[in-house]
Structure 1
Amino acid sequence: MTRSSLPIAVALAASAGLLLTACGGGGSDSSDKIQPSATVTTAAPTATSASPTQAAGPNAPKFDLPSDAKAEFSGFDTSDVEKKDVLRDVKNAILTIQEAEAVGKGNTPNIKRYFAPVQAATLSDMAIAYRKSGYTITGTVKDYRPTVKFDASDRAQVTYCEDQSHAYDKLISTGEVQKSTPSVKDYSLWRMGLAKNAAGDWQVTDYSQQKGVSKCAGS
């Protein structure tokens, strides 16, 4: 079951002026309409679970994640110098969102580092609201098949697939995990826009999810 308590993706996309419309249910590929998501998840080299977790490399961030919330990445390592830093920071941005959901705090150092101001404020508010609703995250999210393109302004557009079939909401009060039968709805195509800041980090400026994308099934 895709985590469904916190519409961070919706908030981030809305703050960037994107329009989200619901797609139909069932097992069809409802293809490729944009739909609100409930969650956004994760990032580090291959699998991430420690608390705190530190990504590799100089000036690498640390992420405060519970041991039962993990991220796995495939295809994010590249020898292409131009794309390498972008994909590194996409992973860090995904982990930042997962950390925000896990700890329920806003304005963390990672939020400020990897999200442009409007998106950082929105993510902070939604992370706090998620915690107040009584939920945290558990399970494993898999992100794979990234593509990177640059526009004339040297901004980056990244797409990637995500499998949330083993990622869930968890009630903090009881530890109850909100599970359901896995389906095509657990597979999403994400689009992330990024711009490099003065410090050299690629920051998220817009973010959207397309749910029920059958071509993303399987890593």
Structure 2
Amino acid sequence: MNRSTRLAAAALATSAALLLTACGGSDDNKDGKDDKKSAGADTRSSGSPSGSATPSDTAAGRPKITLPKHFHADFQGWTNSDPKQQAIMNDGRQELLAEYAAIIEGNPGSKAVAYYTREPAGQSARKWIKGFVDDDLVLTGSTTVSKPQVSIADDGSGVLFYCVDESKGSTRNTRTGEVVRTPQDAKARVQYRNRLAKTSQGVWQTRYSETERGGC
């Protein structure tokens, strides 16, 4: 899934230094989310077949995010013994799910996406979603989201890296019905590198985001 916009990646330089070794990626490709619109989808789901929100997802005004049965994301190893780091992971997961749901709903102005993002990541997310809507594409199949690496920077922001395996994901054209699967190669595994900031309401919003195909 190639994303049409490129984010300035300077704010993620420290993030990369903190976590790249653990995630096994490199910091050479700073393409924002340019590479995210491939035939298979980056997939966001709560790990249940329906992608329904977990009970804590709707706490404190959090929007409920539900994915249809034809699209599933399996979050593996998404736990952390540190409550603050777990909170960062939880909201990072919901940000991913919100974008997936918005693509399937054809809604670039999704309130859930707005809830879990902050500029400039919000603008990038809207443009990415709009690219699917303009091409009459929705997501099908499944993905696996794994190898989360999380830390808290000196300035209090959250750093979250993870891998998305898109090899079982596809896109379907809503006009023609054509289904295109993700190529089965190393580029089907995408590394996400996010920096998050905590709001006064306690929500960890994604502020900067970049991806690297094959980075996992």
- 1:149 is displaced (CA, Å) by 1.3
Residue type at the aligned position of 1:124: R
Residue type at the aligned position of 2:54: A
CA deviation map 1:146-189 (0-9, x unaligned): 11111111101111111000111111113221025411111122
Structure-1 separation of matches of 2:165 and 2:128: 22
In the alignment, which residue of structure 2 is the partner of 1:28? none
- 1:133 is displaced (CA, Å) by 1.2
Q: Check 1:119–1:180 CA distance in 2 against 1; reply closer, same or farther (3 A cut).
A: closer
**TM-score normalised by structure 2 residue count:** 0.79
SS of match in other structure, 1:110: helix
In the alignment, which residue of structure 2 is the partner of 1:89? 91
Matched, 1:18 2:9: yes
CA deviation map 1:38-87 (0-9, x unaligned): 2443132x33425xx22231515322422211110011122311211011
- 1:117 is displaced (CA, Å) by 3.7
2:146 aligned residue (144, 147, 151): 144
Residue type at the aligned position of 2:94: N
Residue type at the aligned position of 2:50: S
**1:137/1:168 contact within 8 Å kept:** yes
**TM-score normalised by structure 1 residue count:** 0.78
Matched, 1:54 2:53: yes
Q: Check 1:48–1:92 CA distance in 2 against 1; reply closer, same or farther (3 A cut).
A: farther
Q: What pairs with 1:204-215 in structure 2 (closer than 5 Å)?
A: 204-213=206-215
**1:64/1:103 contact within 8 Å kept:** no
Q: Check 1:71–1:106 CA distance in 2 against 1; reply closer, same or farther (3 A cut).
A: same
**1:138/1:169 contact within 8 Å kept:** yes
Structure-1 separation of matches of 2:101 and 2:192: 18
| Count of aligned positions | 191
Structure 1 residues not aligned, in runs of 5+: 20-30
Residue type at the aligned position of 2:148: P
Residue type at the aligned position of 2:9: L
Q: Which deviates the most, 114-123 or 150-159?
A: 114-123
In the alignment, which residue of structure 2 is the partner of 1:166? 168
In the alignment, which residue of structure 1 is the partner of 2:21? none
Q: Check 1:109–1:189 CA distance in 2 against 1; reply closer, same or farther (3 A cut).
A: same
Q: Check 1:138–1:166 CA distance in 2 against 1; reply closer, same or farther (3 A cut).
A: same
Structure 2 residues not aligned, in runs of 5+: 11-24
Structure-2 separation of matches of 1:47 and 1:62: 14
Identity of aligned residues (%): 20
